[in-house]
Amino acid sequence: MSHAHYPDLAGRVVLVTGGASGIGAAHVRAFAENGANVAFLDIQDEAGAALESELRLEGRAVSFLHCDLLDLDALARAIEQIRQTLGPVFALLNNAAVDKRQPFDEISGEDFDWMMGVNLRHVVFAAQKVIPHMREIGSGSIVNTSSIAWQRGIVSLELYSAAKAAIIGFTNSLAREVGPHRIRANAIAPGLVLTPRQRQLWFTEKGSEQRLLDAQCLPDAVEPADIAETALFLCSHAGRAITKQCITVNAGSY
């Protein structure tokens, strides 16, 4: 899939969390192809290094940094390293998440803390750390990844849904907070995107993918690149008047 081209993104420093695979890797590719200096964080060292190497061979400006987002000190150090090596961050894509399913009556306090940490807490603190960069630049864009899960009500996704709903509230308040500095904050709510992980975990039965497509208005599966296209638009000058919004990308599914 070829990406839309936004010349104003060329040379911008873009930070993607969870960028080694899935939707995150699509973000990394899309912004790199638009000429941005892309840094991405992940704990998947092999996948992260492979993506970095592949894109560098294509002449893209991409940097992979190992970072456990549950460690807020490590997150702060990684963002400071990006600032020192690449410059202030213009766009933050808070992408990292884990859609762990668990029966509600088995959830423990430890499960709750882990799910909020991996799906919500780093979103708040990554934004906190890059906003001074954006104030220095005089503008910026933060794109937080929500999900349609909290809207649909999916069994065994109570904690994930709670975190993804909270991201909308956080995004709306943040947009009001940083708007006077020409910093925009938006969210994207993907539908069920058929990443390799999703296919491996949840779409192993014959006909399961077709049932997903049958629930959509459009006949084609939503791909990671479709989410990246929306993020490109929101971070570019084309989206300069868009903030405090959540854009659903689900091909018109139920």
List, by residue number, the catalytic residues: 160
What are the start-end ranges of the E strands in the chain?
13-17, 37-42, 62-66, 91-94, 140-145, 183-190, 246-249
Residues written for the chain = 254
**How many other C-beta atoms are found inside a 10 Å radius of the C-beta of residue 168?**
19
Give the C-alpha separation, 170 to 182, whole Å.
Answer: 18
Residues whose CB falls within 8 Å of the CB of residue 62, separated by 6 or more in sequence, listed in order? 28, 32, 38, 39, 40, 51, 52, 55, 56
CA nearest neighbour of 246 among 162, 154, 170: 170
Query: Are the C-beta atoms of 152 and 94 separated by less than 8 Å?
Result: no
Beta-strand runs (E) in 127-213: 140-145, 183-190
